């Protein structure tokens, strides 16, 4: 009886050992298959296009000087009226024109440490801004503004504070098409890599869309915008 029990226990141990051995083999084989599935390639896809800006912001800044504050304000109002009349006469809608409050400087309050007295006590800086969607209508006027200069209006040069801006606001309209193009470009690159490595390109494992950037095409044509996006895509590879 004892011998039969020992024999049964031995056989049970053998079966357990063989079972564990088989299970280990299967798990190892499965791990190898999973490892094969983890082969992948990460590539970047680019989409870059040029678009015309759709909004122009044109600040027209001028200065006036006078020793009488009342006369200074009157001169500012007169010059502002001339500029607005010029713009409206050239098909700029009054709704597209805004006028800021003039910035007044009293030079007598700043004479401490100065050896020469300023010719005019007060100076005023005024800005008339055109905000329009009709860029082709506005651009020619920028070159003809000198007509008003002949009437005695002293326009300021374009520095960073009064620089003309061109905006592109239709990004949401072009996003889907550009993302599709970037993804297609990424797949072409991944396909070339797979072919060179004697592999087959599989499905997308993961993907991330980069930030869209909008820049001037060049400094001489700020009304032409270069829109760019780079997508990063990881694809599965198989033999």
pLDDT digits (tens, 9 = 90+) for 191-225: 998 898 888 898 888 988 888 999 999 999 999 99
pLDDT at position 110 is 63
Tell me the Ramachandran region of residue 152: left when phi exceeds 0, alpha when psi lies from -120 to 50, beta otherwise: left
pLDDT digits (tens, 9 = 90+) for 118-147: 788 999 999 999 999 999 999 999 888 888
DSSP bridge partners of 72: none
**CATH number of 55-167: 2.60.40.10, 1.10.357.10, 3.90.550.10, 3.30.70.2970?**
3.30.70.2970
For residues 89 and 161, give the distance between their C-alpha atoms in angstroms, rounded to a whole number.
27
pLDDT-based confidence at 32, cuts 50/70/90? Answer: very low
The topology under which CATH files domain 34-51+170-238 is: Translation Initiation Factor IF3 (3.30.110)
> Could you tell me which of 53, 54, 55, 59 has the C-alpha nearest to residue 142?
59
Looking at the chain, the domain(s) classified CATH 3.30.70.2970 span 55-167
Looking at the chain, the domain(s) classified CATH 3.30.110.170 span 34-51+170-238
């Amino acid at each position: 009886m004892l011998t039969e029990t020992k024999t049964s226990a031995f056989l049970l141990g053998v079966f357990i050992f063989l079972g564990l051995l088989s299970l280990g083999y299967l798990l190892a084989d499965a791990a190898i298959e999973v490892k094969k599935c983890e082969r992948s390639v990460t590539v970047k896809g680019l989409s870059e296009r040029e678009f015309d800006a759709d909004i122009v912001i044109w600040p027209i800044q001028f200065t006036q000087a006078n020793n009488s504050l009342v006369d200074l304000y009157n001169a500012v109002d007169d010059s502002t009226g001339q500029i607005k009349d010029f713009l409206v006469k050239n098909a700029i809608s009054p709704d597209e024109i805004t006028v800021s409050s003039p910035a007044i400087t009293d030079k007598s309050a700043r004479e401490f440490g100065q050896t020469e007295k300023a010719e005019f006590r007060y100076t005023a800086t005024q800005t008339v801004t055109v905000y329009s969607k009709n860029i082709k209508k506005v651009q020619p006027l920028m070159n003809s503004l000198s007509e008003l200069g002949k009437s005695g209006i002293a326009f300021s040069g374009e520095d960073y504070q009064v620089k003309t801006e061109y905006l592109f606001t239709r990004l949401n309209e072009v996003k889907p098409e550009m993302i599709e193009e970037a993804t297609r470009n990424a797949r072409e690159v991944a396909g070339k890599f797979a072919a060179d490595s004697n592999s087959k390109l599989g499905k997308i494992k993961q993907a991330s869309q980069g930030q869209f950037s909008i820049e001037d095409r060049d400094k001489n044509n700020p009304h032409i915008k270069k829109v760019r996006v780079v997508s990063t895509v990881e694809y599965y590879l198989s033999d």
